[in-house]
Structure 1
Amino acid sequence: MHKGHLDNNEEQIKDTLGMNDIISVLRNEFSNIYLVDCKSQQIEIYRYKNQAVGVKEILQTKQPYKAAIQKYIEENVVLEDRKKMNAAADFEHVCSQLHKIPQFTVHYRVKRDGVLSYYYMKCARIGDADTFQRVIFAFANEDADVKQNEIEKIIHADITTGKRKILIIEDDALNREMLCEILKDKYDILTAENGEIGFEILEKNYKALSVILLDMQMPVCDGTEFLKKIGEDTALASIPVIVITANSDEDAELTCLNLGASDFIRKPYNADIIKGRVDNVIKLKESTLMLAAVEHDELTGLYTRQVFLHYAKGIMKFRADTPMHLVVAKIIDFKLIKHMYGNKKADEVIGYLASVYSNRVRNGLVARQGHNSFVGLFWEDYKTFEQKLKNVISEVKANLPVKGLMVKYGVYKDIDKRLPVSAICDCASMAEESIADNYDCDMAYYTEEMGHKRINNQMIEIAFESALKNHEFIVFYQPKVDIDTEKVVGAEALVRWYKDGTSLISPGEFIPVYERDGLIVRLDEYVFRQVCSLQKRRMDKGEELLPISVNLSRTSALHEDVAKRYIDIIKENGIPFSCVPIELTESAAIYNDRVKAMTEQLTDAGCILHIDDFGVGYSSLISLNQFPFSTLKIDKSLIDDVCQSKGKTLVEQVITLSKLLDMKVVAEGVETKEQLDIIKALQCDAVQGFYYAKPMPEDEFIEYVKGIQSKNQ
């Protein structure tokens, strides 16, 4: 993008940075944006998308603005509007108008290829009325997604003054006045009497602010609280903060620096030092372009999630009466795509989706969140938007670089603007998650029932620490029975939650929550420790050690040092590695270098690995080839159909394959005598299911084992 020939003096650098902020806000709605120097009338191009509103071919002439605008009017503007447009676009007239007002708009009509379109030209000054040296000309179609009052507010807020803007947050009125007096000649100053008011001002003006001067000792939201608060928002944290303090304690300075402060000013004030430090911090910020660096995702050019959350919050306030809808789009099994096709193809998929989402859906704000999902906030009548969204979904489905790839959409329509933006995103994500495994459905809507579930999930998260501390998580044991001898040959450890020691919460409620938020890692380890403790007690009593397998979730399998921790736990208890087999689900066993390294550590130490839920994932054969499993557990969903011809054939082939690979086979979910007889005929090794026993607490399990073993002696 050509930006003309800029001088290097400070005033022009300041103007250019101001223009970049304007371009950053205006985004793609204006097809062409030019900056014209008032003295030379030379044009600097900031956007050049529509060649019919172009100046490139005549930039070398003596009066490029005049020549360009005349050519544009003659070739594009309808005859009836040319006189008005010529008068309005005359540069002397433009400057005359901008001496009176900061910006104005000219509406006109364009006819191309027989099609009539309504356009407007936005003219705005950079600087104050008496000294401005630059003028913005921005061209857009009337149908484009930009509202005049919004642009006017942006321009009015950001470029009505040529000075850099700073915010002083100081509760002492005299100190505020002193700082304003020292800095007022060079800077446009905003002031706040405490951190709370300062944060409100920052949210409204952060794009225009160059630096914040922050007193540490304030009665309402002191400096430390303020630094922590802005540190949670990537966009706000990009504004440098100079701390004002009378404290010479080095620990206090270190605390401020750790919270993101850029520099210090000590009381009593020295005017020259204050000016010098403010100037240096601003230059550092501008030279590194910190704000631009955090706003956009490097691969797609879309907003990052943090910046999206900030902008969306502002849009929701500004458009309080406008219906809004939030959409989350997520690529299913993206890690598998990376493994099968490589990072280059995966990046191509992300780039394609970003292009479609940003170019096809108007009236909205789109961002990339995470490695495999996008989020968008849109404002318009829902029926209109819904049809557009369905068209986009169809287009994506038909043209994805990887055929057969699934992208799921969660929609929260007519959002509740009282909720935090992050909570609204969570609602849409819940809708998406409800169809993540549904091949027949691409889009789902957030419902009130999901809202209740979200609240329940939050309560489940909050209760985790106390539940763990109070041993509310109880390990149950489901026996594994030899299919020929009917002796108990092992068990699987399954966790149950007795909240407050009384009410039972289903694993189907809390396990998915803890898998999403990562708490499952600690819960997995808790269960593993309980099982190892049981085995140690049995060993110390001289009792037979039946192998009790423990599930390792996908999250835990990818967690750092999990193999070392589990090996250490076994060694601490002094029990054989073989008595606590570890079960990996098929989804956790998708070939991955990190998981493979983890399993090798476990097996090298002597651990036994089982593959759980076989038959419901995507990479069964890859898993069997790449991982050292000793036992295969056939998923209940296959056993449910074993009494049917096709189901029986499928289970038979799985058992045959397992035998050829020298693996034992356990059938999960056996509930009837008919199922048992068929599985026995197919030469399965063991069964686990309600036919023999449900999961039971430790004491009942031990008594059950004793009863079965004595019965079969």
Structure 2
Amino acid sequence: MNIEGSYNLYIVALSVVIAVLASYSALNIVTKISLAKGKTRFFWLLAGSLVMGNGIWSMHFVGMLAYHTHMTVHYDIWFTLGSLLASVIASFIAFYITMPRNTNWYKIAGGGFIIGSGIVTMHYMGMEAMIIPNAIYYDPVLLVLSIIIALVASYLALLLFLHFQSESKTSWVKWLSAALMGIAICGMHYTAMEAVKLQHPAAAKAMAPTPAGQELFLLLCVMIVIFIILLVSWGALIFERHVLEKLAYLDSVTGLPNRNEMNRFFDSHVGTEKIGVLFLDLDQFKAINDTLGHNIGDLLIQEVGIRLRQFIREDQQAFRIGGDEFLFIIKQCNTARAEQLAHKILYSIKQVYYIEGNELYVTGSIGISIGSIQDSNRSVLLKTADTAMYRAKGLGKNQICFYSEEMGLQLVRKMELEKDLQLALENNQFFIMYQPKWNVKTNSLVGFEALIRWQHPRLGLVAPGEFIQIAEGTGLIVPMTKWALEQACRQCKEWQSQGLQQPVSVNLSVRLFQNDSLQELVQNVLDKFELAPHLLELEITESMVLYDINDIIRQLQGLRELGVRVSMDDFGTGYSSIGLLDRLPIDALKLDRLFTNDLENPSKRAVINAIIMMANNLQLDIIAEGVENQEHIDLLARLGCYVMQGYYYGEPMREAEIHEWVRTNEHNMSVV
């Protein structure tokens, strides 16, 4: 005798809801897997598998509660637990296979097959867990159909979800995928239940209803499993918000809030409140990082972070925004408060660091910008503070600097010059001016210095002090110097053909030494204009000593072997090169105008006298720059310096003005 069961529709509806919600929770968690790394990836994989497996199992047994057969039913505990384990393992394997972001279709098919098989296995193991006085048979057609439903719906759910998981707005896709997965679970379950045929050898009268205690026990088990689902889902949410968020918004080296947290602060503080932004950059960090290694550099950054923590308050916060850059944001800020904090930070930063046997000293430069986020967006406050920080570095480092409107105008001008510099070279906006050098002892002209100038089409004549530094930073100084060298040699050759036998000097950037082709370049220019090497002088600066000094010496020796002269420009103003003078293959020292302008000072004259005596002992010529009056000439001559350059003898002139100047001064000189 076949026995037909009946369904409680309310519990059926509950089972469907459980299946869809569990599927949605599981698939939502699984999206984290492809974005996670390391141990967190395994966490999301396990969490998704537990939610999915428990959801499938819960739906099955809630569905069993909905099915009434009017007979006594017991459940085998081991088969019941086995069915739960089967669904969890199948979910784990399926999610693992489809974990990579670029999953192939056959991997999705494999994942769908495994999770569908898990649903089928769980169901029929659950059926085997039933202990009833009846024999259970299955309609083969409906049994196969239930398996097909589970496999196909599982595949479609994974395919749809994984295809759209990287999209920004996929809530409806997730729900649709969850609904398909729910259909896979519920469709398989209720189709399989329809396939069940219960036969009792005795009369139907012998049947007894399932005891209420059995249903209560099963319901209690289902409630426990649903509680596990909620616990895992909430646990995953808490983990994401508190653990992963900590990783996303805190710097791993210092433990300070990072750039993401800084952006979140700005997003939440739009208003009229005055906010101070202090942009801190370490001054000597790159040298330490390069010489002692990144490990020591990280430890130094860590120590700096510890020192900065002491200045964190409820209304002021420190951030590490990258490399050796830090940021302080102060609420309700004014100039006095920002300046006071900046000085305290600099004092703390410059104290000695003891790191793995190294005694390290660093300083910091701080730029300060004050304003409200309503008046300007965050990028303006950050950019202005950054601009002020670079000005602080330019003031000598270990300094603070407030942003000003004047600074902003200078920044705009600098950016415009940088943008136009490349076009200037292409459009022939540069030209050369020549300033004479005079020997007062022989009363003779001894050469010219070639000086590059820029005639900007809109801004007019741009001072070299503005664009040379920009050209150095962008690398355009290399083609500019090559152009200036060619122009100077061409002009010198032209003077020579006109009877004016005077050498010309050209300033060299250290960047020309870096590609190791300077000697070849100079040789090619000399050959191009058929200019005698002794008519060319190349001027270098003291900053050369900061680079590979042995390589600099080698290249300078190569230049002198060509027959050109080499002089050191602006001697005594930048870097101490006195200890290298006996090694550097140079012919002359040029005293900066800093010395000439202060000749009235006895101590300054004593320094000049010492330099001249040293140069004489090293058989180096001395040239004084910035000579502007007869008093300068007399004092320098008494000290032993006879070659001079300055406005007293002639301002920088265009090539067309040189012959007029020579004719005007012919009666005062003997040209040699």
Give yes or no for the alignment of 1:189 onto 2:165: yes
Q: Considering only aligned residues, what root-mean-square deviation do their CA atoms show, in Å?
A: 4.8
Once the two structures are overlaid, the 10-residue window that deviates more, 341-350 or 397-406, is 341-350
Describe how 1:473-484 pairs up with structure 2 within 5 A.
473-484=430-441
Q: Hey, what's the Cα distance between the residues in 2 that align with 1:357 and 1:132? A: 45
> For the structure 1 residues 504 and 709, does the alpha-carbon distance in structure 2 shift closer, same or farther, using more than 3 Å as the test?
same
SS in 1 for 2:665: helix
Q: Which fold has the larger relative contact order, with Cα–Cα distance below 8 Å and residues 6 or more apart in sequence?
A: 2
**Can you list the C-alpha shifts for 1:421-456, whole angstroms capped at 9, x where unaligned?**
887665434323434354596111121111111111
> For the structure 1 residues 711 and 672, does the alpha-carbon distance in structure 2 shift closer, same or farther, using more than 3 Å as the test?
closer
Tell me which of 364, 389, 398 is aligned to 2:351.
Answer: 398
Q: Hey, what's the Cα distance between the residues in 2 that align with 1:599 and 1:334? A: 31
Q: Which residue pairs with 1:668 in the alignment?
A: 625
> For the structure 1 residues 469 and 351, does the alpha-carbon distance in structure 2 shift closer, same or farther, using more than 3 Å as the test?
same
CA contact (8 A) 1:487 1:708 kept: no
Q: Hey, what's the Cα distance between the residues in 1 that align with 2:533 and 2:370? A: 53
Q: CA deviation at 1:653?
A: 0.3
Q: CA deviation at 1:654?
A: 0.7
Q: Which residue pairs with 1:550 in the alignment?
A: 506
Q: Hey, what's the Cα distance between the residues in 2 that align with 1:505 and 1:185? A: 62
> For the structure 1 residues 167 and 23, does the alpha-carbon distance in structure 2 shift closer, same or farther, using more than 3 Å as the test?
closer
Q: Which residue pairs with 2:472 in the alignment?
A: 515
Q: Hey, what's the Cα distance between the residues in 2 that align with 1:472 and 1:385? A: 44
SS in 1 for 2:531: coil
> For the structure 1 residues 374 and 391, does the alpha-carbon distance in structure 2 shift closer, same or farther, using more than 3 Å as the test?
same
> For the structure 1 residues 711 and 411, does the alpha-carbon distance in structure 2 shift closer, same or farther, using more than 3 Å as the test?
same
Tell me which of 467, 490, 493 is aligned to 1:536.
Answer: 493
Q: Hey, what's the Cα distance between the residues in 2 that align with 1:315 and 1:167? A: 35
SS in 1 for 2:447: strand
> For the structure 1 residues 705 and 424, does the alpha-carbon distance in structure 2 shift closer, same or farther, using more than 3 Å as the test?
farther
Structure 1 unaligned spans of 5+: 1-10, 25-33, 42-130, 134-161, 169-179, 193-200, 203-293
Q: Hey, what's the Cα distance between the residues in 2 that align with 1:426 and 1:17? A: 35
Q: Which residue pairs with 2:320 in the alignment?
A: 366
Q: Which residue pairs with 2:291 in the alignment?
A: 343
Output the TM-score relative to the length of structure 1.
0.54
**Can you list the C-alpha shifts for 1:665-689, whole angstroms capped at 9, x where unaligned?**
0011111211211110111130111
Q: Which amino acid aligns with 1:592?
A: D
Tell me which of 515, 529, 550 is aligned to 1:573.
Answer: 529
| Count of aligned positions | 457
Q: Hey, what's the Cα distance between the residues in 2 that align with 1:132 and 1:478? A: 87
Q: CA deviation at 1:374?
A: 2.3
Once the two structures are overlaid, the 10-residue window that deviates more, 649-658 or 514-523, is 514-523
Q: Which residue pairs with 2:656 in the alignment?
A: 699
CA contact (8 A) 2:595 2:608 kept: yes
Tell me which of 402, 420, 425 is aligned to 1:445.
Answer: 402
**Can you list the C-alpha shifts for 1:60-87, whole angstroms capped at 9, x where unaligned?**
xxxxxxxxxxxxxxxxxxxxxxxxxxxx
Q: Hey, what's the Cα distance between the residues in 2 that align with 1:529 and 1:475? A: 11
Q: Which residue pairs with 1:198 in the alignment?
A: none
**Can you list the C-alpha shifts for 1:152-210, whole angstroms capped at 9, x where unaligned?**
xxxxxxxxxx9979799xxxxxxxxxxx9884243652548xxxxxxxx99xxxxxxxx
| CA radius of gyration, larger in | 2
Give yes or no for the alignment of 1:620 onto 2:577: yes
CA contact (8 A) 1:165 1:190 kept: no
Q: Which amino acid aligns with 2:319?
A: L
Structure 2 unaligned spans of 5+: 1-27, 51-86, 90-96, 104-155, 171-247
Describe how 1:204-603 pairs up with structure 2 within 5 A.
316-317=266-267, 319-321=269-271, 325-332=276-283, 343-344=291-292, 348=296, 351-353=299-301, 355-357=303-305, 360=309, 362=312, 363-369=317-323, 374-376=325-327, 378=329, 380-382=331-333, 387-400=340-353, 406-414=363-371, 427-436=384-393, 438=395, 442-500=399-457, 503-539=460-496, 541=497, 543-558=499-514, 561-593=517-549, 594-603=551-560
Q: Hey, what's the Cα distance between the residues in 1 that align with 2:338 and 2:325? A: 17
**Can you list the C-alpha shifts for 1:331-356, whole angstroms capped at 9, x where unaligned?**
55778x66xx9812897577424531
Q: CA deviation at 1:621?
A: 1.3
Output the TM-score relative to the length of structure 2.
0.57
Once the two structures are overlaid, the 10-residue window that deviates more, 694-703 or 673-682, is 694-703
Q: Hey, what's the Cα distance between the residues in 2 that align with 1:165 and 1:314? A: 30
SS in 2 for 1:398: coil
CA contact (8 A) 2:384 2:403 kept: yes
Q: Which amino acid aligns with 2:291?
A: N
> For the structure 1 residues 19 and 346, does the alpha-carbon distance in structure 2 shift closer, same or farther, using more than 3 Å as the test?
closer
Once the two structures are overlaid, the 10-residue window that deviates more, 456-465 or 508-517, is 508-517
Structure (1 or 2) with the greater helix fraction: 2
**Can you list the C-alpha shifts for 1:6-50, whole angstroms capped at 9, x where unaligned?**
xxxxx99997776659999xxxxxxxxx999889x9xxxxxxxxx
Q: Hey, what's the Cα distance between the residues in 2 that align with 1:447 and 1:23? A: 47
Q: Hey, what's the Cα distance between the residues in 2 that align with 1:425 and 1:364? A: 14
Q: Hey, what's the Cα distance between the residues in 2 that align with 1:637 and 1:480? A: 18
Q: Hey, what's the Cα distance between the residues in 2 that align with 1:398 and 1:367? A: 22
> For the structure 1 residues 353 and 185, does the alpha-carbon distance in structure 2 shift closer, same or farther, using more than 3 Å as the test?
closer
> For the structure 1 residues 436 and 189, does the alpha-carbon distance in structure 2 shift closer, same or farther, using more than 3 Å as the test?
closer
CA contact (8 A) 2:31 2:165 kept: no
SS in 1 for 2:320: strand
SS in 2 for 1:693: coil
CA contact (8 A) 2:516 2:555 kept: no
